[in-house]
């Protein structure tokens, strides 16, 4: 049922807390709370900081949740539970098995279902009084501004750099506060942008990082509870803004270290008057091509780098033919040890990329020994093929460059190529029994 519509007899609400007045931010007239509303929200209604007026603002507010994944699930869940009037749920992906350890709104029974629809279904069972609108699409320069304008607060729960810039710029152009969070491995951070004269995301990060330095959850992993903690805190900031209590994190960034169990705040720089989008003389006055701006795709899927030429790479099918022919060669697995523990090709030599980058002498000694053994069957003067593999074919490209530089360092005549798509391509195209992770 849409916010503001009441089926039961109404109970007039008045007075109460709710912090400083922000009636101008709530769309439409605020109708009284019903008897069932009072029963449902009773534990928060008695808080002086919220009260009836704050609850009425919540029920009259709308929030756009960008991403229904590890962050978006707890954000949407707590906003629906708190009684936010309308939730817009944006996500282009479907529910997959490896989502379920952290994306707690989804279920095994909804594998293959669009995430936005799955989330809306779960939220409808939690609170049928909240209107949940699923948008089964990717946020883009063509649709972002209108979607942002249609909501009072935006929660950025995405997991890629282009979408972060897109959401930020849309919020600045539409004049909407942005609550942004991120989580990776065992760490997370939270900030509120474009609120009460504070900075926007571009003020702090005017230029995107190089694509090869960016790691997301698909690449680097994440402990499921970490986005849960950050998403819950994100929901808290949204509720405080929508109810009139005011955000805590609009002048600082909250950092969370799960391993140490520690939170800390760092003060943010003030709004930059030279900012390209929110500055005194903005140069970004319309949404742009953010994938081109960032040099990466707007996806939380595993990214694909392109560091080598086609002649320096082989497909998994080509490598399978080399393996079947029993031609002398060396396969080097450059994944971290924790990934090798999950699965490996038994004939591969494990030398992690970090060891190669650090010039670890023990690892190089093992590599020289393996090359020497393989060269016995190839002939001492023959050029020995080295193939490099990792999970996805990204780190392996970096390793090829390093090994090419070492080719004159006691390794003898070698040719070095990486295997495109890595072990996950091997699993999908060559060996269906090989684990995917």
- For the chain, the distance separating the N- and C-terminal CA atoms, rounded to the nearest angstrom, is 40
203 marked as part of a ligand binding site: yes
99 marked as part of a ligand binding site: yes
249 marked as part of a ligand binding site: no
- In the structure encoding, which two tokens stand for residue 392, read together? 């996805």
115 marked as part of a ligand binding site: yes
Does residue 217 carry a catalytic annotation? Answer: yes
102 marked as part of a ligand binding site: yes
37 marked as part of a ligand binding site: no
Cα separation of 286 and 298, whole Å? 18
Handedness of CA 224, 227, 231, 233 (dihedral sign): positive
Does residue 68 carry a catalytic annotation? Answer: no
Classify strands 252-257 and 178-184 as parallel, antiparallel or unpaired: unpaired
70 marked as part of a ligand binding site: yes
Which strand (E) or helix (H) includes residue 88? strand 86-90
Q: Which of 132, 157, 171, 217 is flagged as catalytic? A: 217
Backbone angles phi, psi at 284, to 5 degrees: -100, 100
**Number of alpha helices (DSSP H) and beta strands (DSSP E) in the chain:** 17, 13
367 marked as part of a ligand binding site: no
From the centroid of its chain, how far is CA 414? 39
Classify strands 178-184 and 187-193 as parallel, antiparallel or unpaired: antiparallel
- In the structure encoding, which two tokens stand for residue 106, read together? 């989804």
Q: Which residues pair with 333 in a beta bridge?
A: 350, 389
4 marked as part of a ligand binding site: no
Half-sphere exposure of 363 (CA within 13 A, CB side): 18
200 marked as part of a ligand binding site: yes
From the centroid of its chain, how far is CA 194? 21
From the centroid of its chain, how far is CA 215? 9
275 marked as part of a ligand binding site: yes
**Mapping DSSP to helix (H, G, I), strand (E, B) and coil, where does residue 313 land?**
strand
Half-sphere exposure of 267 (CA within 13 A, CB side): 2
Please report, in range form, the residues annotated as the binding site for Zn(2+). Answer: 200, 203, 275, 278
Please report, in range form, the residues annotated as the binding site. Answer: 70, 91, 98-102, 115, 159-160, 200, 203, 275, 278
Catalytic residues: 217, 390
Please report, in range form, the residues annotated as the binding site for ATP. Answer: 70, 91, 98-102, 115, 159-160
């Amino acid at each position: 049922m849409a916010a503001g519509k009441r089926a039961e007899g109404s109970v007039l609400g008045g007075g109460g807390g709710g912090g400083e007045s922000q009636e101008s931010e709530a769309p439409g007239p605020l109708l009284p709370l019903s008897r069932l509303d009072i029963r449902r929200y009773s534990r928060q209604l008695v808080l002086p900081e919220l009260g009836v007026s704050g609850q009425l603002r919540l029920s009259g507010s709308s929030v756009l949740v960008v991403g229904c994944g590890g962050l978006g699930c707890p954000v949407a869940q707590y906003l629906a539970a708190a009684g936010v009037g309308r939730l817009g749920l944006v996500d282009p992906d479907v529910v997959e098995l490896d989502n379920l350890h952290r994306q707690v709104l989804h279920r095994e029974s909804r594998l293959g279902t669009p995430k936005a629809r799955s989330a809306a279904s779960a939220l409808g069972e939690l609170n049928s009084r909240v209107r949940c609108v699923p948008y089964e699409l990717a946020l883009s320069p063509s649709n972002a501004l209108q979607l942002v304008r249609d909501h009072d607060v935006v929660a950025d729960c995405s997991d890629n750099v282009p979408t972060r810039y897109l959401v930020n710029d849309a919020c600045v152009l539409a004049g909407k506060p942005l609550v942004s969070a991120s989580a990776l491995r065992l760490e997370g951070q939270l900030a509120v942008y474009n609120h009460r004269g504070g900075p926007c995301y571009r003020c702090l990060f005017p230029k995107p990082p190089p694509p090869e330095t960016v790691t997301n959850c698909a690449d680097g992993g994440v402990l499921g509870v970490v986005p849960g903690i950050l998403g819950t805190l994100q929901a808290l900031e949204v509720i405080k803004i929508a109810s009139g209590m005011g955000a805590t994190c609009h002048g600082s960034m909250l950092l969370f270290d799960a391993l140490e169990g520690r939170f800390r705040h760092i003060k943010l720089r003030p709004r930059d008057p030279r900012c390209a989008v929110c500055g005194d003389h903005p140069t970004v006055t319309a949404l742009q091509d953010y994938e081109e701006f960032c040099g990466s795709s707007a996806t939380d899927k595993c990214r694909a780098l392109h560091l080598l030429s086609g002649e320096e790479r082989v497909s998994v099918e080509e490598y399978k033919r080399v393996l079947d022919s029993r031609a002398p060669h060396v396969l080097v697995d450059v994944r971290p040890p924790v990934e090798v523990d999950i699965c490996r090709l038994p004939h591969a030599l494990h030398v992690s990329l970090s060891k190669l980058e650090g010039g670890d002498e023990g690892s190089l000694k093992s590599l020289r020994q393996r090359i020497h053994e393989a060269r016995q069957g190839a002939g001492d003067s023959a050029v020995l093929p080295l193939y490099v593999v990792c999970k996805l074919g990204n780190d392996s490209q970096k390793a090829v460059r390093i090994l090419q530089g070492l080719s004159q360092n006691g390794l003898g005549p070698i040719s070095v190529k990486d295997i495109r798509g890595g072990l996950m391509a091997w699993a999908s195209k060559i060996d269906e029994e090989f684990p995917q992770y």
